[in-house]
Structure formats: structure tokens, C-alpha cells
Amino acid sequence: MASIKERLEEDIRNAMRARNQGRLDTLRFLKSQIQLVEKNTLRELDDAGVTDVVAKQVKDRRESIQMFGDGGRADLVATEEASLAVLQEYMPEQLGADAIAALARQAIADVGASGPGDRGKVMGRIMPQVRGKADGSQVNAIVSRLLEPATG
């Protein structure tokens, strides 16, 4: 099985052959971000490290889409959404809310969390398990909801 970086190289070549400029620009930018992290850390990234870089780019695109949408820039929203779609091809399959909730319940039990004040302990336990497979803000929302005192 090819590494993510090998797949990225192949996809860049295919985008050049197909003259798909938008896809090519996104893939080249991703490659440059991976190389930047490698240069800064002085080590070659494995697939997990590359996935972290991709996840950051996905998060950045989502934030850009939100800001451009708020600013009424539909043209830029469309560009960012196209980039986001390309980047998501490199992300592992994303966990659904039910799967995140199950992991959160297990983490809550593991750390003995009893209320909202223990959210940090729970997040510290669950985030390594879901890295790259779930959006941190979604995980945080689910954990917060599960830690809320029962209203009766």
C-alpha cells in the first residue's frame, strides 16, 4: 500500500495531465505544507504526521468558508469548498456522532469524570483516539453535553 505522500505525488501528476488547475493548486499547496513541517521538525513525516497536516488544512478551509460566507463572498466560498473536497480525500473515514459519543462515554468512565470541570481530562484521553477521524470542536461539544449535570 502506498504512503499518503506517494499518493499525493501521483495525484499531482494526474491533475497536471488532466489540466485540472484547481485540484493541482490544492495538492501542490498541501505538498508544500507537508514539506514545511518536515523542514521545521527536521524529520520526514509518516502517514500519521501527514494526516495531521491534512487535518489542519481541512480546519483552515472550514474556517475560511465560514468567514467568506459571513462576508458575502460566494466566489471565494466555492473555491474553498472545492479545495476542502480535495483535502478530504486524504483524511481517514470520519467518525459519526454516535461513535464519538461512545468513545467519550468510555473516556469519561476511564478518568472518572463527574462534571463539566473534568472536560479537560476527558478531552486529553479521547483526542489521541480520534485524531484525524473527527473534528475537535465536534468532539468537544459531545463531551460537554455528556458532562452536563442531568436536569430533572
pLDDT, tens digit, for every residue of 11-36?
Answer: 999 999 999 999 999 999 999 999 99
Q: Given phi > 0 = left and psi -120 to 50 = alpha, else beta, which region is 110?
A: alpha
Q: What are the Cα distances from residue 134, in Å, to 3, 77, 97, 124? A: 21, 22, 9, 14
Q: Comparing 116 with 71, which gets the higher pLDDT?
A: 71
Q: Does domain 97-147 have CATH number 1.10.10.410?
A: yes
Residues 4, 24: Cα–Cα separation, whole Å: 16
Q: Name the phi and psi angles at 145, rounded to 5.
A: -65, -40
How far is CA 117 from its chain centroid? 26
User: pLDDT confidence of 152, banded at 50, 70, 90?
Assistant: very low
| Cell triple for 141 | 461539544
Query: Inter-axis angle of helices 21-41 and 74-88, to 10 degrees?
Result: 60
Rounded (5°) CA angle 60-56-83? 55
Domain segments of the chain: what residues? 4-88, 97-147
Contact 22, 85 (CB under 8 A): no
pLDDT, tens digit, for every residue of 84-139?
Answer: 999 999 988 888 888 888 988 888 888 888 888 888 888 888 988 887 788 888 89
pLDDT, tens digit, for every residue of 129-143?
Answer: 887 788 888 898 898
Domain 4-88 class in CATH? mainly alpha
